[in-house]
Structure formats: C-alpha cells, structure tokens
Structure 1
Amino acid sequence: MTPQALTDFFDKHHIKKIKYAFADIDGVLRGKVISRNKFMAGINDGYGFCDVVWGWDMTDAPYDNGQTTGWHSGYPDAPVRIDLDSFRRIPWEDDLPFFLADFGRTDGNDLPACPRSLLKRIAAQCYDMGFVARMAQEFEWFNFRETPQSLQQKGFQKPEPLTPGMFGYSILRPSLESDFYHDLFDLLTRFDVPIEGIHTETGPGVYEAAIHHDEAVRAADKAVLFKTAVKEIAYRHGLMATFMAKWNADLPGCSGHIHQSLWNIDQTQNLFFDADKPDRMSDLMRQFVAGQLHCLPHITPMFAPTVNSYKRLVEGAWAPTTVTWSIDNRTTALRVLNHKEAYCRVEHRVSGADTNPYLALAAALASGLYGIRHGLSLDIPATTGNGYADKQHGVLPASLADATRHMADSPIATELFGAGFVDHFCRTRDWEARQYARHVSDWELKRYFEIV
C-alpha cells in the first residue's frame, strides 16, 4: 500500500480513524486509535510513542533494573513507524483499518528492545545468505465461560471451562459452541490470519489451530495477531481465552510450536529436502538442526519466557525437556517432518503458547542460521524412543531464573541477537523471575500456615 493508494481507499470508504499496534517485549499488543489526519501526517516519518512500553512489564509495573528507559531517562518519546504492508481490516470492529508498527528508524538504528525489529534483522540476514525462511506457529489455548470481571471476582479460582472433559479431535464438542467455533475460523481468515485447521485438543475447553505458513516476519505478524484476535472474538461470545503455558497442574499445557523451512530466493525449492540423502534431509537442513540444538540451552527464555512456561516443560506432559531431535517423534525438542518436499520442515516443540512470536521465531531462525554459518555437523543421533529419557546431550533449564542467567552470560546469545537486545531482554526476564520469587502462593499457605 502506497500513501496515495491509502488516501484513495480512505476516501472511497469514508475512513476517519485508524488503529495501529506493536508488540512489546512480552508479545502484548500496545497501540492507539488515531485520526486519519494524524495517520497521514506520520506515514513517512513515524510518530512519537512514550518509551515506557519498554520500561514496564505486562502489568504496567516499571522495571527496577531497566537501562533502555526508566525514571533515569524520564520516559521520553521514541520513534514508532507503521508498516504499510501490514494493512488489514478488523471484521469484528466494523472493518476498522489496522496496521502493525515497530520501533524502527529511517537511519536503520532500530531500538534493540523492539521484537519485530529484531526479527526483521534476522530475516534480512537469512536473505543475505541466499535463503527465504518460511515459518508458521500453531497454538493451543483454553476457553472459559468467564469475563475479565467474573474472573477477578473469583480471584482467578475455578474458572468454568467452555466444555467439560477430555475430548481431543472431537467433532461433537465444538457443535455446542458452533457460532464461536466458526467465527474463529471465518473472522481470522477475513483478518488476513488464515487458518489451516482448528480442532479440540485433550482437555476441557481447549482448542488448537494451525496458521498458514508465510515468510518469517509475516508469519510472526499473523501469530501475534492471532492471539489477540482470538481473545477479542471470545469476548464477543461472553468467553475468555488464555494462552498460558500451563493454567492447571492436572491438565496438559499449551504449546506454540514453530514450523520452519528454508527456500531459495524465488521460493521455488525447499532447500531442506534431498531425496538422495539419509532421512531425505539435505546437508543444509542438518546444519540448521545442529545449530538449533547447539544454541537451544543458551536462548531458552525466548521459547519459554515466563515463570509459568517451565510448568509445561516437564516430563510426560507432551512438551520436551531434553536437547534432542527426531524423525516424527513428539517427545523431542525438534521434530523433523520430511515425507514430501513441499512439506519438509522442522517443528520446534519447545516454544509455548505464551511466547512472543517475534522473539520465538527470531530465536528459531537465528539459531538455525548459526548452524549453517558455522558449518555445524549434526552429531547428535536422532532419538527413536522416549525423548524424555534421552538426556546424554543435555536437558533444558528447569526455571526462568536459571535460563535467564545462562542466556545473559552466553556469548552465543550475543552473537545471535546483539548485546543491546540480550541485555534488555534478560533484565526483563530477571524482573519476571524475581516477581514470582517474592510472591506467597496459595500452595505455601495451605502447606505451611498451620503446620510449621
């Protein structure tokens, strides 16, 4: 979309206001509705936006360890730029025009904290190496018969699931809420977040959806918008959706698996597939997988960014715990799918539904490119049995605090993402871990209040 094309479109459809948003470090969309005049005035040079969005957490609590911004800097404005190619309309808001933005600059000196800018840099590196990354994220999430008000009144205790019981791949269960179920598919498609498929997963009120693959940045755009769109569509049906990694200890967690492949520049050949190689995996694919395995322990917080993430990454819970790969084995960190060239890809199974898609896809792509750039050999053999038992090549960090310390001290993380991003991101994860450490939980009260 050019400025003139937008002007013509706005005139034709009598557009007077526009919504735009960007993803913060937690993947939460922040933004505004602005007038058409305001939009057009900043279309080339950008807009000023208070940089407190990089100085507070998802609950708007200011970090006590921030360097990017803070009380020391006075929280000034930072330049935010709208990506005109991200234009779409919000079908559940009377087709309101919507754009994504990031904290990029015309001189290329982007804000290191900005997740979308980071992924754009990694995707550009990929292109410079002669590849186009095609990626997609799929999500599991739970739905409840609650509103933000009812859940607050309950103290977030015993939310009522959309449907009862464990009923994965059910045709029966969605028929109870067919308006919601079909709205998800149809409205997301109209919002340019096309869905390959949607179904129930095992658990009360849990759905899973796979998004059509696309080039890396557009794939992350769709994933970010998917999560917020699902929540907004659920609101309109009197429901709430959660993408927590693990909302209940007795139920499966929610994944955000990443599917990824590298193609030639004109996207006519899947470079991961080679029918003449063992397991039909090209040398390039083997280097990519080797890079992801090598880097995984150094960048785990980008796939598991919250304290709750590590409640999902436990043995026997359909989420990996070891540095492993396999051919079509759902117990390992990486799962290779290579039956046909068109669908040959690597599924990164560590990533949870609570991830920031820009960061998760950036981490997956950058670590794979690391393996290619360094010519790594895939010396770790494919796991053929229980991946949880295959610990000889390492296990994933068991907590956000441990994972963050490892990433903060890692020269590999700095090589992949730059010192500025690693410093900011690890400070935010350290803050997140410390908020949990100081909290007194219901479990502690029940266990210790009387007895000790």
Structure 2
Amino acid sequence: MAQSAEKLGWLAEKVSAGEIETVLVAFPDHYGRLMGKRFEAEFFVEQVAEHGTHGCDYLLTTDMEMEPVQGYRFANWELGYGDFHLVPDLSTLRPASWLEKSAIVLCDLEDERTHALVEVAPRTLLKRQLERVKALGYTVMAASELEYYLYRISYPEAHKQGYAGLEPAGYYLEDYHLLQGTREEPFTAAVRRHLKASGIPVENSKGEWGLGQHEVNVRYAEALEMADRHAIFKQCLKEIADSMGLSVTFMAKPHHGQAGSSCHIHLSLWKDGQNAFAGEESYGPVKGSKVFGQFLAGWIAHVPDLMPFYAPTVNSYKRYEDGSWAPTRLAWSYDNRTAGFRVVGHGPSLRIECRIGGADLNPYLALAAALASGLDGLERNLTPPPIFQGDIYQARHLPRVPYTLGEAVEGFAQSAFAKEALGEAAHEHYTHFFRTEWQAFNRAVTDWERRRYFERI
C-alpha cells in the first residue's frame, strides 16, 4: 500500500508539472498482448486510480484478429458481452518514456458484480500460484530472457509485402559479434535507455545466432513483477521499432533454417532472504537443497501437461529442431544448452533455467505453469531424473516435446493435473482457446501448399 501511495504521489506531481499527460491503463490478454485504454492523466489521478475502469469481457474470448470466438462459458453472445472491471495495480505504475509525456499501469480484472478476480485472466492465474508459494513461506525470483528479430522495414510495409522478403537488420550470424551489434545500436540503445527510464532495469544486450536476431536482458525480479516487465518490454520494443520505421517480431520461428527465438525462464525459490535452492544434497555434480530437487522434478514431470503455456502458437513447434539451440527433449543438465532444463549458478545463485518456452509465450501463463509444476514436486516429494551429461539432441530414448500445437493441446485437455492446478473453469477456458488456434490453422490454405501443389499436383 505504501508503494502504491508513493507511486500515485509521483504521478500527481508529474501531472501537475505538465510532464505526464496520458496514462495507459492496460492488462494482458491470452496472447500476452496489452489491451486497455488511454486516460487523460488528471482524470486518472482523480478517478481511475481509486475506482478503476471497465472493459468488454469479450477481450478474453477473442482470437488474434480480435474476432469474438464462440464456445466460451466466460463470455458469449447469449450473455451479451458485458464488462469486467479493470483495477489498476498502482505498484506497476511507471513512466512509458518511449511515448511522449506518458505513463503506464497494469491492471487486475475483477467481476463487475462480485469484485472477485476473473479466474481465467492470465494475471490471476499467476497470482493464484504465487498465493500457494506464499503459503509455504517462499517467494519466487524469476527472469525471462527474450530474443527477437529486427528488420529494416516498417510494420505497414511488412504487412503490404505479406511479411515476405523482409530485410533483416543483420546480414551474417552475429552471436556476441560487436561489429554487427554496433550497426543495430541506434535501435538497441534506444530500447535500453527507455526501459531503464521506465523502471525496467537492463543488464545487457547482445547479438544472437540469427540474421538480425538480438536479445536484451533485464534484471531478475519477483515473479509477478518479472511478468509485468516482460509484457511492457514487448510493448516498448514494438513501439520504438514502429517509431523508427523498423519492425521486430517475437515469433518463435520466423524463418526456416535459422535459429528460433526463445524465452528462457530463470527461477528460484527464496525464504527469509536466502535462496532456498542452495544446499548440500548431491544431484550428480550439482549441490542443492531438497527443495531444489523436488521443484526441478515437478517442473520437468509436468511439461507435457502444460505445454501450450510454454509454446502457445502453431509456429512455436517449428522451433524444436535438433541442433538448433532449442531443446527437443525433457532432461536436465548443468550448464548445458542442449537441455530443456539447464541448471546454472551455485550456492546462493543456483537456479533453474527452462529453455523450452519461445518468445511468443505469455509470461503470466508460463510462470504459472512453472510454479504449479514445481509446487507439485514439493508436495509429493518428487525426485528428479538423473542428470544428463552430453549432447541431449542425440539421446533418442528421452521423452520429446510435442511435435505440434494440436498434440500439445490434447495432452493439456486430457491432463488431470492441469485441471486440478488451474481449476476447472480456467482449464476448460484455455483448452478451448488453444483448440481454436489449432483449428484456425488447420482451416487455412498456406503459401507452402500453393507453391507445392498449384501446378504440379
């Protein structure tokens, strides 16, 4: 509460001085996109900060094209598509320095009548898992490493070209390459500067393995704050690119034959200011606590149950190629980039890096999945499989991640664990959401099909 009051006081001062004129009031949808409204700053301070605002509940039933999809219990034509309540979380209030005289705040969604949290909202799902963690006496520290591709073409022009033949910002593989990174620095420096000025501290940026592929890493934080940083990060990068006549994509696999874009999630549990993963139990060459081993075991075990939360689109599954830097099999190892679960650090810095998620994931859903899985490991005292050493791409005996979104969705739909962990309503809601995405793809006629069959079939 004290932090919220301090943030609101800061905003009131900036508004009075004429330095802030607009407040973006936003929430993440299923895809992790930020939806919401822009408010005159004076009105936000006087009314919205305390009372919130409203949004149409169809926003949690739309597809990528903003078409309302039928078949949801939560909202539909029969129910009339009413409102839910947007409640600003003032602890998230910060400048949006990449926009002129603007601030941004993220919201929780509540039922208009009962004021209970909307159970199917992504931010709610993460908060519910964090409540379970808190009940056990832990806090969660997390970081999400996002990769993206940068192009020397504006979004409108890319759209006109059907997103084909786009010129990447780089013309050779630039992983850690400073010279090529310098050529992209006008964009990347602006990103680092504006993230920092917007209360999202940055650690570094670097070139990645694809043509024009890059990564900007922000500092780790408590899990909900990290998810909020992730969502704002993507909004910031897209809008900076748009303002510079460039474009970025967070597709998991925008190009055949090049590296996919990942979202590596680093996570550890903490208690009384100490890393609860640190300990002297032996897990092969790794020293950690029983909590570490149990959490790791649960996280690995339940990837098949919650896979759509790490890989939510049809394109996500194109990334899982052997020898491509993306993990294809469920195993853990120490400091081994072929592993789906790469354990890094030691002692107080010991943490689990899950490399399965793509840059297209929704951070709230992915972190909720990680916590639900790890907590099950704690509650059932699970033991992780033996550490794997070597090239996991060659370990054909290990279980593989699903090949398609369709396969992953059916695993999710049939999972008793997913239903229990998320609650029946949320499980049904997201089953319908992911099935709808898969069905939309199956109905589409692709350029690949026309090139292959138009003349020669």
> What TM-score range do you get, normalising by the shorter chain?
over 0.9
Work out the CA distance in 1 between the residues paired with 2:267 and 2:245: 35
Q: How does 1:148-163 map to 2 (within 5 A)?
A: 148-163=155-170
Aligned equivalents of 1:16, 1:280: Cα separation in 2: 52
* 2:441 match: 436
Matches within 5 A, 1:40-189: 40-104=46-110, 109-189=116-196
Match of 2:425 in 1: 420
The aligned counterpart of 2:390 is 385
Distance, in Å, in 1 between the alignment partners of 2:369 and 2:64 is: 21
Conserved 8 A contact 2:29-2:59: yes
Which one of 346, 357, 362 corresponds to residue 356 of structure 1?
362
Q: CA offset at residue 119 of structure 1?
A: 0.7
Please list every run of 5 or more consecutive structure 1 residues that lacks an aligned counterpart in the other structure: none
Distance 1:409 1:13 in 2: 56
Cα deviation for residue 256 of structure 1 reads: 0.4
Verify the 8 A CA contact 2:21 2:101 in the aligned structure 1: no
Is 1:401 the counterpart of 2:406? The answer is yes
Q: Matches of 2:105 and 2:142 in 1, distance apart?
A: 21
Q: For residues 213-232 of structure 1, what are the structure 2 equivalents within 5 Å?
A: 213-232=220-239
Indicate which of 5, 13, 16 corresponds to 1:2: 5
How far off its partner does 1:251 sit? 0.6
Greater shift, 144-153 or 215-224, is seen at 144-153
Corresponding letter in the other structure for 1:311 = K
8 Å contact from structure 1 (residues 25, 113) kept in 2: no
Preserved contact between residue 141 and residue 353 of structure 1 (Cα < 8 Å): yes
Match of 2:329?
322
Count of residues in correspondence between the two structures:
448
Structure 2 CA distance, aligned partners of 1:71 and 1:150? Answer: 36
Aligned to 1:259: 266
Equivalent residue number for residue 368 of structure 1: 374
How has the CA–CA distance of structure 1 residues 177 and 390 changed in structure 2, closer, same or farther, with 3 Å as cutoff? Answer: closer
Alpha-carbon contact 1:338-1:345 (below 8 Å) kept: yes
Q: Percent identity?
A: 34
Where 1:192 maps in the other structure, the secondary structure is: coil
Give 1:13 shift. Answer: 2.6
When the two structures are superposed, what TM-score results if normalisation uses the length of structure 2?
Answer: 0.94
How far, CA to CA, are the matches of 2:13 and 2:27 in structure 1? 23
Shift of 1:37: 2.2
Structure 1 position 303 matched with structure 2 position 310: yes
Which 10-residue stretch deviates more, 364-373 or 64-73?
A: 64-73
CA-atom RMSD in angstroms: 1.8
Deviations 1:348-402 (A, max 9, x none): 1101100011111111122111100111122x11111121233434221111111
Give TM-score, length-normalised by structure 1.
0.95
Cα distance between partner residues in 2 of 1:48 and 1:403: 34
Instruction: Quote the Cα distance in structure 1 between the aligned partners of 2:157 and 2:9.
Output: 45
Residues 206 and 251 of structure 1: CA distance in aligned 2, closer, same or farther (over 3 Å): same
Residue 18 of structure 1 aligns with which residue?
Answer: 23
Query: In the aligned structure 1, how far is the partner of 2:61 from the partner of 2:142?
Result: 30
In structure 2, distance between residues paired with 1:167 and 1:96 = 34
* Residues 74 and 39 of structure 1: CA distance in aligned 2, closer, same or farther (over 3 Å): farther
Alignment of 1:28-43 (within 5 A): 28-35=33-40, 36-37=42-43, 40-43=46-49
Counterparts of 1:266-345 in structure 2 under 5 Å?
266-267=272-273, 269-275=274-280, 277-278=282-283, 279-339=286-346, 341-345=347-351
Q: Does the 8 Å contact 1:245/1:308 carry over to 2?
A: yes
Which SS does the other structure have where 1:287 is aligned?
A: helix
Deviation above 6 Å: which 4+ runs of structure 1? none
- Partner SS for 1:44: helix
Single out whichever of 323-332 and 178-187 deviates more from structure 2: 178-187
CA contact (8 A) 1:234 1:240 kept: yes
Q: Distance in 1 between matches of 2:414 and 2:106?
A: 33
Find the residue that maps to 1:257 and give its secondary structure.
strand
Q: Distance in 2 between matches of 1:257 and 1:7?
A: 34
How far apart, in 2, do the equivalents of 1:194 and 1:436 lie? 38
Amino acid at match of 1:250: G
Equivalent AA in structure 2 for residue 416 of structure 1: A
Q: Secondary structure at the match of 1:364?
A: helix
Deviations, residues 195-215 of structure 1 (Å, cap 9, x unaligned): 211100012111012221110
Q: Per the alignment, in what secondary structure is the counterpart of residue 93 of structure 1?
A: coil
Shift in alpha-carbon separation, 1:376–1:164, aligned structure 2, 3 A: same
Q: What residue identity is the alignment partner of 1:80? A: L
Q: Structure 1 residue 38: deviation in Å?
A: 5.0
Deviation at 1:86, TM superposition (A): 0.4
After alignment, is 35-44 or 218-227 more displaced?
35-44
- One-letter amino acid matched to 2:63: D
Contact 1:304-1:355 within 8 A present in 2 as well:
yes
Give, as a single letter, the amino acid of the residue that structure 1 aligns with 2:264: H
After alignment, is 233-242 or 99-108 more displaced?
99-108
Partners of 1:404 and 1:46 in 2: CA distance: 35
Is 1:208 the equivalent of 2:215?
A: yes
Q: Is the 8 A contact 1:281 1:338 kept in 2?
A: no
Q: Is the 8 Å Cα contact of residues 383 and 390 (structure 1) preserved in structure 2? A: no
Is the contact made by 1:247 and 1:253 (CA closer than 8 Å) also made in structure 2? yes
- Tell me: CA distance 1:187–1:11, structure 2 relative to 1, closer, same or farther (3 Å): closer
Offset at 1:276?
5.6
